[in-house]
Every structure is written in structure tokens, then in C-alpha cells.
Amino acid sequence: MDPRCKLLIVMGKTEFTAAKHKQQSMILVDINTPGIHVKRPLLVFGFDDAPHGHAEISFENVRVPAQNILLGEGRGFEIAQGRLGPGRLHHCMRLIGAAERGMQLMAQRALQRKVFGKLIAQQGSFLSDMAKCRIELERTRLLILEAADQLDRLGNKKARGTIAMAKVAAPNMALQVLDMAMQVHGAAGLSSDTVLSHLWATARTLRIADGPDEVHLGTIAKLELQKAAKL
């Protein structure tokens, strides 16, 4: 975590008897409050994202003023949901950029590297796989655009189905494209000599950080069933 960070936003259960979506609160906590211990920075696939990465932090009998609660007690889930659509859609947009970078590096490598007497770019199997990567990238780009448009016009709640689709499609597409780019680069694609392995690790992380695929797939399926039930 960034050593300049002096303020934490902690979300925790403050009410055990209220409706499930009103049990959590978000609280501002001074990092120097007694009882807070930053135990260690965490690596993701061996990559250290310091100073902007994540850390393991323990809280033992930490006490903060009640006025540090954001928006109001029991509204933590509401705050989280308010940013999940736009915030995670932004991640989808960044994944498009990562995939484009992968396509660029893949093409450059294919035009330079020879295997079995001819350039990779002249290999029929490569051409087919590269074309499929471009198709998947463009399909995903349009889905993200549709999700962003619905978010602007209809709001987070009504756009949640399309946003969920984008959250599933974007990292999986990026992983497919980046994996292909890594394969074309051989051992270099797995090393830190190229940016590909780091981009791949980031894309794989987002399949969990932005909510597991299974959660989003459940949302998409439920909305489909609700449509059918209304007919």
C-alpha cells in the first residue's frame, strides 16, 4: 500500500438485525489509530504493485468516532453498489487497452520471428488464431460500449445485466488475447522482458477482484428468467 496513505476506508458489519443490505457501514479510519498494524505487502502472481498494491492489515480493538461513518450507519452496501457499476466498467475499458497492447505486440513478433523457415505471420494457424482474437476484442468492445451507454441513460440498477456481461466478457477476452501473444513470444512472453505476463496477471486478477464470474453469471441468468416470467 502507498506509504503516503494516512486514511483508510473500512467496511464492516455494524447492525446484525437489520435487512442484509443495511447491516454494513463504511468508516473513515486514521491509519495511526492504535490497534492498526500493517503486517505485510501482498504479491499477486509474484508481482509487487507497491506503492499502490494491497496489504494485509490487522485491526485489534480499534476505536474511531461515530461521526467517521460515511453517509450514515448501515449504508455501506449502498455506497459500494453506487460505485461498482462505473468503477468496474472502467476496469473493462482498461482491459480493452491491455488486449490491444497484446494484439500489437503479437503482430510485431509475428512479422519478425521465423519458425520452420518462414515468418510466424505466414503460418496459417497463427493467422486464424489472430483473427479470432480480433473478433473477440471487437465484440467485447461493443458490449462495454453498450453497458456504458445504458449506465448513462438508465442508471446502475437497470444497466446491471449488461454491466455484468461486460465484467465477465472483458477479462476472459483479454486473457485469451494475451495468452496468444505470450505464446507467440515463447519464453520471452512469460518473462518480465515484455509487459505481457504482467498484463495477463492483472486480467486474471480482475476475474475475482471485480466479483467472481459465477456471481455475474448468476445475475445475468436471473434477469433472463425474470423477463421470461413476465411474458
Per-residue pLDDT reduced to its tens digit, 46-97:
887 766 667 888 999 999 998 999 988 888 888 887 776 677 789 999 999 9
Grid cell listed for 91: 476496469
Q: Which of 68, 100, 117 is the last residue of a domain?
A: 68
The answer to whether 9 touches 27, Cβ cutoff 8 Å, is yes
Q: Evaluate whether residue 75 is within a structural domain.
A: no
Host domain of residue 21: 7-68
* 28 phi-psi bin (left φ>0, alpha ψ -120 to 50, beta other): beta
Do 114 and 29 lie in one domain? The reply is no
Note the pLDDT tens digit of each residue in 132-190: 999 999 999 999 999 999 999 998 889 999 999 999 999 999 999 999 999 999 999 99
Residue 23 lies in a domain: yes
Residue type, 227: K
Which residue has cell 488486449?
Answer: 99
| pTM across the whole model | 0.83
- Distances in Å between the alpha carbon of 162 and those of 133, 137, 212? 22, 17, 16
Asked whether residue 76 is assigned to any structural domain, the reply reads no
- Asked, for residue 215, whether it belongs to a domain, the answer is yes
Is residue 99 domain-shared with residue 180, that is, in the same domain? yes
pLDDT of residue 51: 62
Does 170 lie in the same domain as 106?
Answer: yes
Q: Which of 22, 39, 68 is the last residue of a domain?
A: 68
Closest CA to 87 of 206, 205, 191: 206
Q: How many domains does the chain have?
A: 2
Shared-domain flag, residues 26 and 88? no
- Amino acid 55: pLDDT: 84
**Mapping DSSP to helix (H, G, I), strand (E, B) and coil, where does residue 119 land?**
strand
The segment with the largest mean pLDDT, out of 23-32, 36-45, 75-84, is 23-32
Residues 49 and 119 in one domain: no
pLDDT reported for residue 178: 98
In this structure, the answer to whether residues 107 and 47 fall within a common structural domain is: no
C-alpha cell at 216: 455475474
